[in-house]
Amino acid sequence: MQGKQSMTRAFFADRRGAYSIILAISAIPLLLAVGLGVDYARYLSAQAHLQRMADAASLAMAASRAEDEDALRKVGNDYIAANYSANEVENVRVASLQGTTERVDLTLEGTLPTTFMALGHIDTLDVKANSLAIRAISGSVEVSLVLDNTWSMSEMADAGTTKIAALKKAATNLVDEVFKNNDAPIKVGLVPYADYVNVGTQNRGASWLNVPADYSVEHKGSCRTITSKRGECIAWAPKGTCTSNTDGVISTYPCGGQCTKYGPDIPVTPYQSCSNDYVTNYRWFGCIGSRANGQNPILNEGSPSYRYPGYVDASQKCLNPIVPLTDDKNRLLSAVDNLIINIGGYQPSTYIPAGIMWGVNQLSPSAPFTEGRAYDPKNVDPRKVMVLMTDGYNTLQFRASDGKHIGFNSGKEADQRAQSNANAAALCDYAKKQNIEIFSVAFLVSNPAATADDKAKEDEARALLQGCATDAQHYYDATNSAALSAAFSGIAQSLTNVRLAR
């Protein structure tokens, strides 16, 4: 017995191979734990991928407007086949689907082949994801359509279609879409902008406006005695073709050919030549400029003491009035149909900050317009949305002395345009701080025939619109009429048809 005990003690005292044995035994559970961790991390990644697929597929199904289950399944299966990654999850399939006019409830299932867990005879893990897409507005929505009505919108978009005609069609379809079969409260407003906006003459006495009184200027006629008339023209300037640039629109016209030298004056029997008296009336047509504080136009709802300047003039220098937020679909459709790009001989230029400013004013619950509800910090109820559209770049600058929007100074155009862009960007930032959701649309901003200088301006305009948009998915670059309609349709669908609820 004593010999056996001695042998046992010797065995345990001998350390030459003990560590290797202990390490080998303890490594088994350690390796299993690491393997389980790897498989679990892969499972979480597969779960996240499948959830993204379910969300995107349910939105695609809802946007398709299909209600028949077979049609919905085809949309979902086509989307899944085109977008899922077999490296993340295998055998993705639609496990359950319920589609109605109001919602699409989708569950996807897939499998994940295991690596280390297969040692324990667990070869695959089931992965599941569920998503619910709402097809109708949930909660109230307020939309401000801030639309470019400048002279450049007179250009042709496509064969037989002007830019303004294409815009009217796209905006009409958007209004029709957002008011279609929706019981939730929705209001839409319209801000036609150019160099100025028109707030409507009915607001003349508002506390947020400063409009001078109308006035008239009398012009007295006069008479003079004519004793001779100009002689015959004996020399003419050469005829040619000249160009003009109004809001980026290049026009040509015949010029030259005027008389440069006349023969001797010819005596005539003296007679009286008289001009009549006339009166020029200056009145307010609803046109206003920007509030000024220092060097920049401001939009500060907390400072109503800064009033907007109104301008009296002999003729109207702003376009159709703003339509405040309303649920009157017919009123909106009529206003869209009556959008104009000039009035009389007035051909307006572009000052984008004015449109943004009044888009915010329209959505704000405080004056100047009070149709909007109070801001929701989450922008859910109400959901406030601005749609900002332009076909070009700023061609005007802000003048701090009187709030007017004027042309650029010779030799300083680049710096002054940059300041106008900065003012627009600052107003977009202000809107986003109020949690207003901004969609921006560049419509035919790129002109293939543009000079290098104009291309740089176009790039600046697109960069401005991209920066104004809530994110990359909220920016559209429409290169033709069809693309503009698709952009406005996509915006309408995002407001009414493709909202995730789960």
Helix, strand or coil, per DSSP, at residue 385: strand
Q: Cis peptide before 368, with omega less than 30 degrees from 0?
A: yes
Q: Kindly list the distances between the CA atom of residue 388 and the CA atoms of 195, 248, 352, 465, 488, in Å, as whole numbers in the listed order.
A: 15, 19, 9, 8, 11
Neighbours of 418 (CB within 10 A): 13
The DSSP letter of residue 489 is H
Q: Cis peptide before 382, with omega less than 30 degrees from 0?
A: yes
Tell me which amino acid residue 113 is: P
Give the domain 141-216+280-388+424-437+453-500 fold: Rossmann fold (3.40.50)
Cα–Cα distance for residue pair 388/462, rounded to 1 Å: 12
Q: What pLDDT shows up at residue 351?
A: 95
Helix, strand or coil, per DSSP, at residue 106: strand
- Cβ contact 265:229 at 8 Å: yes
| DSSP track, 421-441 | HHHHHHHHHHHHHTT-EEEEE
Domain range annotation of the chain = 2-134, 141-216+280-388+424-437+453-500, 228-264
Query: Max Cα separation, the chain?
Result: 162
Q: How far is C-alpha 250 from the geometric centre of its chain's CA atoms?
A: 26
Burial class (CB in 10 A: 0-12, 13-18, 19+), 452: exposed
| DSSP track, 190-256 | EEEESSSEE--GGGTT-TTEE-PPPEEEEE---EEEEEEE---EEEEPPEEEEEEEETTEEEEEEEE
- SS (HEC) of 248-297: CEEEEEEEECCEEEECCCEEEEEEEEECCCEEEEEEEEEEECCCEECCEE
Q: Which stretches of the chain drop beneath a pLDDT of 50?
A: 4, 8, 11
44: part of which helix (H) or strand (E)? helix 18-64
Cα–Cα distance for residue pair 417/260, rounded to 1 Å: 39
Helix, strand or coil, per DSSP, at residue 121: coil
The 10s digit of each residue's pLDDT in 126-168 is 888 898 887 666 668 999 999 999 999 999 888 889 999 999 9
**Among 307, 271, 275, 301, which residue's Cα sits nearest to residue 289?**
307
Neighbouring residues of 204: CB distance < 8 A, sequence distance ≥ 6:
211, 284, 310
Q: What pLDDT shows up at residue 11?
A: 47
Q: What pLDDT shows up at residue 452?
A: 84
Helix, strand or coil, per DSSP, at residue 131: strand
CA dihedral 452, 457, 458, 463 (to 10 degrees): 130
Neighbouring residues of 319: CB distance < 8 A, sequence distance ≥ 6:
149, 192, 194, 198, 339, 340, 341, 343, 348
**Among 382, 466, 485, which residue's Cα sits nearest to residue 175?**
485
Q: What pLDDT shows up at residue 353?
A: 95
Tell me which amino acid residue 7 is: M
pTM over 0.75: no
- Strand ranges in 19-137 using DSSP code E only, listed in sequence order: 90-99, 103-113, 124-134
Cα–Cα distance for residue pair 251/246, rounded to 1 Å: 8
Q: What pLDDT shows up at residue 140?
A: 86
Cα–Cα distance for residue pair 491/494, rounded to 1 Å: 5
